[in-house]
Amino acid sequence: MTPNSAVRQWRKPHFIASPWLRWGLILGVAAYLSWALATLPFDWERISQGIPRAARIFGGGFPPSFERYELLFSGFKESFQIALLATLLGVLLSIPFAVMAARNIAPRPIYLLGRAVIIVSRSFHPVIVAILFVKAVGFGPLAGILTLTLYSIGFVGKLLAEEIEEIDWGQVEAMRAVGASYLSTLIYAVFPQILPRQIGLSMYQLDSNLRASAVVGIVGAGGIGGTLMNAFGRYDYDFAFAILLVIIAVILVSEGVSGWVRRRVW
């Protein structure tokens, strides 16, 4: 012990400094939760009836049946096609929109337009967009492709625009100093800097589109989702279970591949 020093204590400061605000928030959340639980109509009788039904469905799924593998295969083939085409289209289209929506390289009116496009295409979940497109262009893979393209533009475009806003400005300055045009500056100073991110996002988007293509299929936009919906409708739980297993396997493989590709790009 050093002389003339009292024992000094230390506590980590609270995240919210004011005790009134801190306790007020905790009490408020607790009160809302208990009110929400009390007022939502949970029908315990129906839940207890539902459990054996769920058990029957899962029971019906065992053992999974791969008998109709042709249907399974053609469904997946269509899903792959939808996902691949939508990713390709979406990623290509996201580049101009990302350039438009980057504050540092787009003039103000163009920037606002670009942001607006991205915000609109991100506002709705793919399922809602799919319902609209199925109404507009009819059942089938075209609706799925359009849906996922729009979804990809929104997601990739937004992240790419943010990436452009964070580039090293010195490289742009250097291209301006040599007298390069706007387009040449874009392809020399901007695109090389965002390329790794672009590839990473495309891989991630392919992954995500594959998953989403199964979902939008349920509302009639083609692919394995439709096959799954039909299997459920006909109480073919063993076939439905087989489809689910293959979906899981495909997602695992695609995640592995996209992770590997993203690590390789530096």
Chain residues in the site for another protein (CB under 8 A): 103-104, 168-171, 173-181, 183-185, 187-189, 192-193, 195-196
Task: Indicate left, alpha or beta for 138 from its phi (over 0: left) and psi (-120 to 50: alpha).
Answer: left
Burial string for 57-85 (b: 16+ CB within 10 Å, else e) reads eeeebeebbeebeeebeebbebbbbbbbb
The minimum distance between CB 265 and another protein, in angstroms, equals 11
d(CA 133, CA 80): 19
**CB closer to another protein out of 109 and 170:** 170
**CB closer to another protein out of 34 and 104:** 104
The minimum distance between CB 263 and another protein, in angstroms, equals 17
**CB closer to another protein out of 123 and 184:** 184
The minimum distance between CB 119 and another protein, in angstroms, equals 21
Q: Hey, is 107 helix, strand or coil? A: coil
**CB closer to another protein out of 167 and 247:** 167
d(CA 111, CA 248): 40
The minimum distance between CB 178 and another protein, in angstroms, equals 5
